[in-house]
Structure 1
Amino acid sequence: MTIRIREARPAEYGVLGELTALAYLKDGLLDFGASDSYLTELRDVAKRAAAATVLVAVADDVLLGGVTFVPGPGPMADLADGDEAEIRMLAVDGAARGRGAGAALVRACVERARALEGCGRIVLSTQRTMESAHRIYERLGFVRTPERDWNPLPQLDGITLLTYELTL
């Protein structure tokens, strides 16, 4: 199976949005108060594509997963500051996991960040329970930056997103 990474096509936005939402739900990642609003955000690929770059992993014309590459500070950035790019909303269909799609998507984001003039780092947030994603990030050279960990829902205690960065 050859995995290709390319920009998502508008005709794929609905499928990718559902794939992303289902991946987060099945992994138990939306077990906090604002689940509904974040599910809406995960499903709204058109909104993400208007403000950033949405990449997909495809094999044999089957959509395996996707990721949002944010080239710097802006409306889609949670962390990116100054000379940083950001990875958001990485998701791989449950049936396609373990085949390298997630790593291929992250590598594609790193390549895009390296191609950006003046970009010195690529950053991301992740939940504690996303251990398979953590392994991908660490294998590709990302390091934890606990000083940047943050709570996306300050009104709820105990939700801390872990952060990673890769110096380019």
Structure 2
Amino acid sequence: MDLTIRQALPEEYAALGEITAQAYLRDGLLDFGESDSYLDELRDVAKRAGAAEVLVAVEGDRLLGGVTFVPAGGPMADIAGPGEAEIRMLAVDHAARGRGAGEALVRACVDRARAVPGCLGVVLSTQRTMHTAHRIYARLGFLRTPERDWNPLPELFDLRLLTYALTL
């Protein structure tokens, strides 16, 4: 596979938003399906690109997936502390899974974190059922950090997110 990782182009935002939303929907990761308010956030790639770096995996002219890289701090950070970058919203089109796009996107985020002055680590949150992603994180040296696990919406439902960290 001739895979390229690069910044998302504005003309790709809608397609990437739909890939991300469909990945979460098809994997059963949204409690309320199409009415889940987080779905709007997943689809709003332009908003993410204005606050962080959105990367895509492409093969030729085919968009395979994307990820949001949040350098230390920034409005898109959920759990990153001082000196940490964060990975958010990793998603690969179902038809393109198993071909290395997800791992390549995570590797690109790690490479970007290493280039950020003062960045000492990379953190991320994931759902319990994202087993394929967990294997990617472990393969790349990320370790579980259960003391950082959290629930983004405790007033609505119990959605405990697992956390991982990689020391650079």
TM-score, reference length from structure 2 = 0.97
**What is the DSSP-based 3-state SS (H/G/I as helix, E as strand, rest coil) of the residue aligned with 1:117?**
coil
Structure 2 CA distance for partners of 1:155 and 1:33, relative to 1, 3 Å: farther
Separation in 2, partners of 1:18, 1:8: 14
Contact 1:33 1:156 in 2 (8 A): no
Separation in 2, partners of 1:26, 1:152: 21
Q: Which runs of 5+ in 2 are unaligned?
A: none
| Number of the residue aligned with 2:39 | 39
| Number of the residue aligned with 1:3 | 3
How many Å apart are 1:131 and its aligned residue? 0.3
How many Å apart are 1:72 and its aligned residue? 1.5
What is the CA RMSD across the aligned residues, in angstroms? Answer: 1.3
**Does residue 153 in structure 1 map to residue 153 in structure 2?**
yes
| Number of the residue aligned with 2:125 | 125
- Deviation sequence 1:115-137 (CA, Å, 0-9, x none): 00000010000000000000000
| Number of the residue aligned with 1:21 | 21
Instruction: Detail structure 1 runs of 4+ shifted over 2 Å in the superposition.
Output: 32-36
Separation in 1, partners of 2:33, 2:13: 26
One-letter amino acid of the counterpart of residue 124, structure 2: L
**What is the DSSP-based 3-state SS (H/G/I as helix, E as strand, rest coil) of the residue aligned with 2:63?**
strand
Aligned residues: 168
| Number of the residue aligned with 2:59 | 59
One-letter amino acid of the counterpart of residue 145, structure 1: T
Separation in 2, partners of 1:116, 1:35: 37
How many Å apart are 1:96 and its aligned residue? 0.3
Of all paired residues, the percent bearing the same amino acid is 75
